[in-house]
């Protein structure tokens, strides 16, 4: 069995002081967490399996991803680096891969033009095309394709949201995930807005459903608050990787601590 991956996430934005890692709750009320290059170096040293760098305001502000910051980050890490935010063309992907990214995450541009996923995977290979899916629960069951039972017994479907969580688009997250797999995506970065920043645990119902429906790897994102949440994400959610941000940024839990716990529980990890 392939080793399960622990992935810290750098949500990066530009402000008057330059590039800054921030973290909020359900994509709002952002607070500073540090310098992206310094944090990336720390996570590499602490045993992260991969790193995700997301320029979270690039699409909403209509600008390109901050390539110079990606270059400086890539120089500090020796683990796979996925970069996303504002990726909307083959040229953008080429620029980020040239800057040191190993994989590129596409979200808004893929929803607006699904054929972009096919084009990108054919040119660069599926292994480096990650589709980021931000979604949230919608309880109007008449509009969803895949109705999922939640932890409390209620039912909902999960709606895709773009522009950094600002715009719901009426697309079912499960059907969208299946479509991008068919178009050539090599991995899904699945973020539940309902759980983002809450520390209540990963959104197991949607993570498990998409993991069961697809054959490509699924990264669970949104809600990690305890070591046990990672175990649940892997075992109950059937995720291939679990991503977290604030618990790592503010040193609430160490990466090695999580991996040692998972190994004791029989989950294969790299230590």
CA 87 to centroid of chain Cα atoms: 14
Instruction: Give the span between the Cα atoms of 162 and 20, in whole angstroms.
Output: 22
b (16+ CB within 10 A) / e for 147-177: ebeeeeeeebbbbbbbbbbeebeebbbbebb
CB-based contact 222:191 (threshold 8 Å) = yes
29: left (phi over 0), alpha (psi -120 to 50) or beta: left
Q: Which residues are catalytic?
A: 11, 134
Instruction: Give the span between the Cα atoms of 246 and 223, in whole angstroms.
Output: 10
> Which residue in 203, 216, 114 sits closest to 157, CA to CA?
203
Start-end of H helices in 147-226: 173-183, 204-213
What SS3 class is residue 215?
coil
> Which residue in 245, 181, 231, 233 sits closest to 40, CA to CA?
245
> Which residue in 85, 50, 81 sits closest to 165, CA to CA?
85
Which of the 8 DSSP states describes residue 237? S
């Amino acid at each position: 069995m392939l080793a399960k991956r622990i992935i810290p996430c750098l949500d990066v934005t530009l402000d008057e002081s330059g590039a800054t890692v921030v973290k909020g709750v359900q994509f709002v009320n952002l607070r500073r967490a540090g310098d992206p290059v310094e944090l990336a170096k720390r996570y590499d040293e602490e045993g992260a399996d991969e790193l995700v760098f997301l320029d979270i305001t690039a699409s909403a502000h209509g600008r390109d991803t901050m390539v110079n910051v990606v270059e400086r980050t890539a120089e500090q890490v020796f683990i796979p680096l996925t970069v996303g935010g504002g990726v909307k063309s083959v040229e953008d992907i080429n620029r980020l891969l040239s800057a040191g990214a190993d994989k590129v995450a596409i979200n808004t541009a893929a929803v607006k033009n699904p054929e972009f996923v096919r084009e990108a995977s054919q040119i660069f290979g599926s292994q480096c095309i990650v589709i980021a899916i931000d979604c949230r629960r919608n309880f109007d069951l008449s509009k969803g394709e895949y109705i999922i039972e939640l932890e409390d017994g209620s039912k909902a479907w999960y709606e895709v949201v773009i522009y950094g969580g600002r715009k719901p688009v009426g697309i079912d997250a499960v059907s969208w995930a299946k479509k991008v797999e068919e178009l050539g995506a090599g991995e899904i970065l699945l973020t539940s807005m309902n759980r983002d920043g809450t520390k209540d645990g990963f959104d197991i119902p949607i993570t498990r459903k998409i993991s069961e429906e697809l054959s490509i790897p699924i990264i669970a994102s949104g809600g990690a608050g305890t070591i046990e949440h990672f175990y649940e994400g892997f075992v109950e959610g059937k995720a291939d990787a679990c991503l977290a941000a604030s618990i790592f940024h503010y040193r609430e839990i160490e990466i090695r601590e999580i991996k040692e716990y998972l190994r004791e529980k029989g989950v294969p990890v790299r230590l």
